[in-house]
């Protein structure tokens, strides 16, 4: 491994590289710079959007009821857009560049376009935020018609989407260059494969977004007189749902990457893991139906086909990853010598390394809380007792915050030393961060699901209905749930703050990594990282009793919870 961090060597076609002293990978400096800026902007949006989320949660805490109604709806709109769109997608672009240029040892395709993409995304995101904060666009980030936002709200989203599309094409271009220039041997690594999945879905997603947002923009400036509200929803969720599959693909790719880098884990079978990624592409495109299960004018046949064929086979993909990754970890740990009993491999895992603990918590919260609740809610009839209640945000905070966001946080602890080449500062805070954030997020997910089960509406300023002509009292437990939700939100916000603090300080004020510090505190432990390069490939097939126990617990929980909800459903008024 060459230790030459200072003087970048000039590659052909003017691209310059350095060699990573820790992994031996060749690092394209354009790719590196773009990963940095996209990641930094992502973190800024997480900080801003997370703060809005806290304000929203404190308003929904009945005893606190922080904001007035107009500010509540305004900040709720900004929260959804800033975290779900801007934080997640900026970070995903960084992941795409990492999974192509860095992992494949290649230069980034068309760096000028990648910069253009970045600028467009920033401009679009800022424009949408300005529109929302001006107060004329409190329409929620889903912006269902016929409620209308200011034109520059839609324009901001469109410009952002165009930027993202360009970034995705730079990713594909890089893959082509890598292949042509032979920068890697054989098939692409699994992590890159996962990123390709994400990128393919992204193209589809952005196309749906354009199909619906462009006419909506024209409608907002008066060029089109009418947009059908049902058609809007069908197409909007073609984007909105499929884009969640981008998040899942990116997050699963990160799970594999962290398991590989920290434990030296290799997939049990490359075939199974790759097929599971392909299932996301094949079966998710149509699955907008589970957002439309109680909508007028949508037939039962379409709903059932769409939620089962399209959804369950994609769920199957996630269930496969959910077993394969712990399985790969167990196999690697047993090889590393932790072979006693059923769970020694898990007990002796590097729990004090935030990259590892964040990844594990992400897997658990995503699978147990987010996955199970998502399938239940996406069942044609069960949706009747959940649609638009707080159950829905409860579910997706488990997936997109506990799953995706936590996975992105975890991988940041590897990106900062490897890409930014800075030491992580405040190591103790970093060590606790995934636990604090994970506990808070698990809390807000569970308490919002609980309140939703009791009927509390989402996107609602006043569950006490104090200004309403006719009133209704939710059960006292529902109020308790929302109080606990507020406390959990404080915990999640603290965890988010710890993350931002550690990452921002490390990036801007951290000590540069030197060959000495790398030798003393390697980012990739001996058991992982480059040490196993020579023996990569599929795992031989050992016994994995720990994983069998874990997936069995998961499966039993899934089946029980699913049928408990059918029991709830059977108790409501007969409908036909």
Partner 1 sequence: MAIFPPQNRLWWKEPLSGIEITWIGVAFVWGLVMFGTMVGWHFVGKQNLSNETYRINPNAFGEKVEAMVERYQVREEGDTGIPVVHPAPGTDIYMLGRLWEWYPVLELEKDQKYRLHLSSMDWQHGFSLQPQNINLQVHPGYEMVLTITPDKSGEYAVVCNEFCGIGHHTMVGKIHVIDNK
The single residue among 46, 121, 191, 492 that binds partner 1, judged by CB under 8 A, is: 191
414-453 positions binding partner 1, by CB under 8 A? 453
The piece of 184-192, 305-313, 490-498, 541-549 that touches ligand HEM (CB under 6 A) is 490-498
Of 45-53, 115-123, 168-176, 468-476, the window that binds partner 1 (rule: CB under 8 A) is 468-476
Of the ranges 33-41, 84-92, 188-196, 205-213, which one interacts with ligand HEM (CB under 6 A)? 84-92
Q: Are 46 and 500 spatial neighbours (Cβ–Cβ below 8 Å)?
A: yes
Q: Is 140 in the site for partner 1 (CB under 8 A)?
A: yes
Rounded CA separation 404/237 (Å)? 19
Q: Are 411 and 257 in contact (CB under 8 A)?
A: yes
- What's the min distance (Å) between Cβ of 405 and ligand HEM? 4
CB of 383: closest distance to ligand HEM in angstroms? 17
- Looking at the DSSP bridge assignments, the partners of residue 14 are none
> Under the criterion CB under 8 A, does residue 222 sit at the interface with partner 1?
no
Q: Which does 189 bind (CB under 5 to 8 A by kind): ligand HEM, partner 1, none?
A: partner 1
Roughly how many angstroms between the first and final C-alpha of the chain, as a whole number? 69
DSSP secondary structure, 223-263, as one string: SS----HHHHHHHHHHHHHHHHHHHHHHHHHHHHHHIIIII
Torsion angle defined by CA atoms of residues 72, 77, 78 and 79, in that order, rounded to the nearest 10 degrees: 80
| 493 touches ligand HEM by CB under 6 A | yes
CA angle 286/460/236 to nearest 5° reads: 20
Distance, CA of 211 to CA of 335 (rounded, Å):
51
Q: Under the criterion CB under 8 A, does residue 155 sit at the interface with partner 1?
A: no
When asked if residue 376 is in the footprint of ligand HEM (CB under 6 A), the reply is no
Residue 492 binding: pick among partner 1, ligand HEM, none (C-beta 5-8 Å cut-off by kind): ligand HEM
Q: How far is the CB of 340 from ligand HEM (least distance, A)?
A: 38
List of residues 6+ apart from 516 with CB closer than 8 A: none
Kindly report the number of other CB atoms within 10 A of residue 297's CB atom. 9
Near ligand HEM by CB under 6 A, which window of 11-19, 104-112, 136-144, 339-347? Answer: 136-144
Query: Would you count residue 200 as binding ligand HEM (CB under 6 A)?
Result: no
Task: Give the CA angle between residues 453, 457, 461 to the nearest 5°.
Answer: 140
When asked if residue 454 is in the footprint of partner 1 (CB under 8 A), the reply is yes
* 207 Cβ contact list (under 8 Å, min separation 6): none
232, burial (CB in 10 Å: exposed 0-12, middle 13-18, buried 19+): buried
Told to check if 371 binds ligand HEM by CB under 6 A, we report no
Contacts of partner 1 in 67-86 (CB under 8 A):
69-70, 73
Q: Rule CB under 8 A: is residue 188 a binding residue for partner 1?
A: yes
Site for ligand HEM in 384-423 (CB under 6 A): 393, 397, 400-401, 405
**DSSP secondary structure letter of residue 213:** H
- Using the minimum distance from each CB to ligand HEM, give the nearer residue, 331 or 444: 444
CA–CA separation, 204 and 407 (whole Å) = 24
Residues of this chain that interact with ligand HEM (CB under 6 A) are 50, 53-54, 56-57, 60, 76, 79-80, 83-84, 87-88, 140-142, 393, 397, 400-401, 405, 444, 458-459, 489, 492-493, 496
């Amino acid at each position: 491994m060459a230790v030459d961090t200072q003087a970048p060597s000039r590659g052909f076609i003017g691209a310059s590289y350095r060699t990573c002293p820790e992994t031996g990978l060749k690092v394209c400096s354009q790719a590196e710079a773009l990963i940095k800026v996209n990641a930094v902007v992502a973190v800024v949006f997480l900080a801003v959007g997370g703060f809005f989320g806290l304000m929203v949660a404190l308003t929904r805490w009945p005893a606190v009821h922080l904001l007035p109604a107009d500010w509540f709806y305004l900040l709720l709109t900004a929260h959804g857009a800033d975290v779900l769109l801007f934080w997640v997608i900026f970070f995903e672009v960084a992941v795409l560049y990492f999974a192509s240029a860095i992992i494949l040892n290649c230069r980034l395709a068309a760096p000028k376009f990648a910069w253009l993409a970045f600028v467009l995304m920033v401009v679009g995101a800022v424009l949408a935020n300005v529109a929302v904060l001006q107060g004329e666009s409190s329409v929620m980030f889903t912006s269902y018609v016929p409620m209308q936002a200011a034109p520059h709200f839609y324009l901001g989203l469109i410009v952002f989407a165009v930027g993202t599309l360009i970034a995705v094409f730079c990713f594909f271009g890089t893959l082509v260059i890598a292949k042509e220039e032979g920068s890697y041997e054989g098939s692409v690594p699994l992590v890159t494969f996962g990123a390709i999945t994400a990128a393919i879905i992204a193209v589809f997603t952005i196309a749906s977004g354009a199909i619906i947002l462009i006419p909506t923009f024209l409608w907002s400036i008066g060029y089109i007189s009418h947009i059908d509200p049902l058609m809007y929803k069908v197409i909007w969720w073609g984007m909105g749902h499929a884009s969640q599959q981008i998040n899942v693909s990116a997050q699963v790719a990160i799970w594999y990457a962290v398991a590989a880098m920290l434990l030296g884990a290799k997939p049990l079978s490359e075939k199974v893991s790759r097929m599971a990624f392909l299932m996301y592409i094949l079966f998710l495109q149509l699955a907008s139906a589970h957002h439309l299960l109680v909508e007028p004018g949508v037939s039962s046949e379409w709903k059932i086909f769409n939620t089962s064929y399209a959804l369950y086979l994609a769920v199957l993909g996630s269930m496969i990853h959910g077993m394969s990754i712990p399985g790969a970890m167990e196999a690697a740990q047993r090889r590393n010598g932790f072979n006693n009993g059923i769970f020694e491999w898990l007990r002796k895992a590097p729990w004090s390394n935030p990259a590892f603990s964040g990844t594990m918590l992400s897997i658990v919260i995503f699978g147990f809380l987010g996955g199970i609740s998502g399938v239940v809610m996406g069942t044609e009839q069960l949706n009747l007792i959940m649609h638009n209640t707080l159950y829905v945000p409860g579910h997706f905070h488990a997936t997109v915050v506990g799953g995706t966001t936590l996975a992105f946080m975890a991988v940041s602890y590897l990106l900062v030393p490897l890409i930014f080449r800075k030491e992580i500062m405040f190591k103790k805070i970093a060590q606790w961060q995934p636990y604090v954030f994970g506990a808070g997020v698990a809390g807000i997910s569970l308490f919002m699901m609980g309140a939703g089960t009791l009927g509390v509406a989402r996107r609602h300023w006043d569950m006490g209905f104090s200004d309403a002509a006719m009133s209704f009292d939710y059960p006292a437990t529902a109020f308790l749930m929302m109080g606990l939700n507020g406390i959990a939100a404080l915990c999640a916000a603290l965890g988010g703050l710890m993350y931002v603090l550690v990452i921002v300080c490390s990036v801007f004020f951290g000590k540069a990594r030197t060959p000495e510090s790398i030798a003393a505190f390697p980012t990739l432990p001996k058991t992982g990282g480059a040490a196993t390069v020579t023996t990569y490939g599929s795992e031989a097939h050992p016994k994995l009793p720990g994983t069998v126990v874990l997936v069995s617990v998961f499966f039993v929980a899934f089946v029980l919870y699913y049928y408990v909800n059918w029991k709830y459903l059977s108790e409501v008024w007969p409908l036909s």
